[in-house]
Structure 1
Amino acid sequence: MIEIQKRQHVVNGERPRRTSAGDAFSAFAITALKLAGHLTAAGDQMAKPAGQTSARWQVLAGARHENMSVAQIAKLLGVARQGVQRLADVLEAEGLVTYADNPNHQRAKLVALTSEGRARLSVIETNQAVWADALGAEFDEDTLKKATEIMAHVLDSLATQR
């Protein structure tokens, strides 16, 4: 685990120096953050015809498995359980998901799609398929696969540092 200092010490008003690998990773991270913003905006546009947002879409997609708790969906998405719980409760109130008893845990209910939730998710996924096909055609498939491998490796490295 990499230790991150809680206080920054500024020496002579200079920025801390990084290695060239640190500079390259910082540029990668900034680009990934910008990409995440654009992907969220695109996801919101794809989910809008179904009356949803990117965040709700992710919870609906997690509920499709019908054997996942809120905590499991949150872990899959890499987000806080409380945020997923809040969204799942809203989706339940709208009749898009339901809670089912969990044979493996007395209190952690399983999240399952209702028929309306499946219909809304289908609309979103149809929009996403058209969008992904169009953008995917702009790139070499092997390049996209390599980029995915790199991002997965970075995610694994970050996960081990928690």
Structure 2
Amino acid sequence: MDVSGESLEKAKAELGDLAGAGVCMAGNAFSHVLLVKGEPEVADASGNVPALLAGPDGVALHKALGALGYAPEDWGALSVRDVDGFPLVPGTLRLAIATLDPSTLIALDEAAAAAIREAFADELVELESFDAAMLTPGAVVRLLGMRVMALGGFEKSLSDPKAKQLMWARLKQLPPEGEPY
């Protein structure tokens, strides 16, 4: 087996371990952007619960990322809740983020930001800015080589034109980064 085959097998095993631990993920595991959702998906009128970011919030996020210049497949999603709806323990959330290894991490709502704060508490307390350490919505934070931003209620903003404009202004701070070589 060559190096690329070994890397693929390693990634499959790591992602399989996360899935086995009940981690709820969607999208491309090798993407630059990881969208982290804390609020559970809302069932439709027939009681069906859509897959992670398969609803209107996911459609709007994909559109926004495309407008920023990201490729259509360049996103991954992670829920801070397991497949049974229980919160992930901080170590599991941290492991999932490290395994997916995004260059940009976006907390979509306060529940996601709170879970990220807990999972990365040791690193966040070292930051000089209080807004950065608290992941204040709209602040871009450098954390372990990632750009991190809390949007502060993306899904709820979809029904309010002013809130949508605010989310767009925040997302515009996170254009695709160039390759490091």
TM above 0.5, yes or no, is: no
What's the TM-score, normalizing by structure 2?
Answer: 0.26
Q: Kindly indicate which of the two structures has a greater share of residues assigned to helix.
A: 1
Q: Kindly indicate which of the two structures has a greater share of residues assigned to strand.
A: 2
What's the TM-score, normalizing by structure 1?
Answer: 0.28
